[in-house]
Amino acid sequence: MALSVVLAVAVWDAADWRAYRDERAGVAEFDGGLNRHEAEARAFECCLSEWLCQNFQTNEPGHCSECGVVESDSDRLLPYGDAINGHTWLHSECWPAWYAHRRHAAIAALKAVDDLFKDEGVVLR
Ligand SMILES: [Zn+2]
């Protein structure tokens, strides 16, 4: 795997994550019309997205962040990310595995920070 950097934008503690999750669940339930179970599942997905943004992984262009292979004319890398947080460079076929690893890291981090997330889904997409 190529050398990469994880940008820590903010450091939220358990109370921050709990407040964010509760707020997202409330919006999904009352504004979005979801039942409580669906709203909590949606809120967990929002927490995963937020964690991924707060812990965005970047790497230098030229090496795939997932497989580490050097870019070539026949094996191009694509940037994933934005101008503010930077980019992770990946082969298009490496993106699903990279994303699955990042999502798994987010789930583990959220479970480690608060028991609130201990029963949340571990489905890797
Ligand atoms: Zn790759």
Spacing, Cα 110 to ligand 1 middle (Å) = 27
**What is the pTM for the complete model shown?**
0.81
Long-range contacts, 89-94 (Cβ 8 Å, 24+): 89/59, 89/60, 89/61, 89/62, 89/63, 89/64, 89/65, 90/64, 90/65, 90/66, 91/64, 91/66, 91/67, 94/64, 94/65, 94/66, 94/67
Spacing, Cα 108 to ligand 1 middle (Å) = 24
Look over the chain and give the mean of its residue pLDDT values, rounded to a whole number. 87
What mean pLDDT do residues 5-12 have? Answer: 67
Domain ranges of the chain: 5-117
What mean pLDDT do residues 67-71 have? Answer: 95
Residue ranges near ligand 1 (ion) with Cβ within 5 Å: 64, 66-67, 91, 94
| pLDDT at site 112 | 87
Spacing, Cα 114 to ligand 1 middle (Å) = 33
Spacing, Cα 94 to ligand 1 middle (Å) = 5
